[in-house]
A = this chain, B = another copy of it.
């Protein structure tokens, strides 16, 4: 039977990717003044630079901004102006400062789940930005524990479960990323509630995991979460 339910933060509790998408679109407008975006394969080259920097920068808006500056200089062969590079810092600051807007029905869903189970928030990225979003979300008091990690891999989930003294089979994770929220938890022997968001960053698409897995329930929005948890709990209790 389930004991602990994890919730992802970005694009599960609150909107996030939309702000990154807007920054990316503005980045492309800026470098598009110098070069043909398609000819220069700007999208692919930014992604390659971001991917190459993840190990050093980690996830989040500060790393994105530094990668954008690198990419803008690179794809324009150094022809971009200092003023435009400086504008990219402003783009990053806008992403960091954006207001936190909750997804519809998510507060009620977390409250409903928390009446029966311990709930934990497990989010990845920049420590200061994630902490700020937790505060601005006004959801912190609902969670028994808040974990901000650099990478949501089986190792990170196993550590959280060990510290919460919960076996993987008694844990279900709610999130929008098959790669970060669902696959590593199922791999450990846990359960997943997959709630896709309308936009997913390319790097988060990098998984062979299918939502058709028997240990995963897919929901279309937050209102479906409590019922999905109950369904998985019954499944987990069946020998």
Contact = CB atoms under 8 A, between A and B. Distances in A.
A70 B63 CA distance: 15
A92 B78 contact: no
Interface string A52-89: 01001110001101100110010000111111111001
Interface residues of A, number: 33
A72 to B, nearest CB: 8
A33 interface: no
20 contacts: A53-B93, A56-B96, A57-B62, A57-B96, A58-B129, A62-B62, A62-B63, A62-B66, A65-B66, A66-B66, A69-B86, A73-B82, A73-B85, A73-B86, A78-B82, A78-B83, A78-B86, A82-B82, A82-B84, A127-B127
- Across the A-B interface, give the 6 residue pairs with the lowest CB-CB distance, nearest first: A58-B128, A62-B62, A127-B127, A73-B86, A85-B85, A128-B150
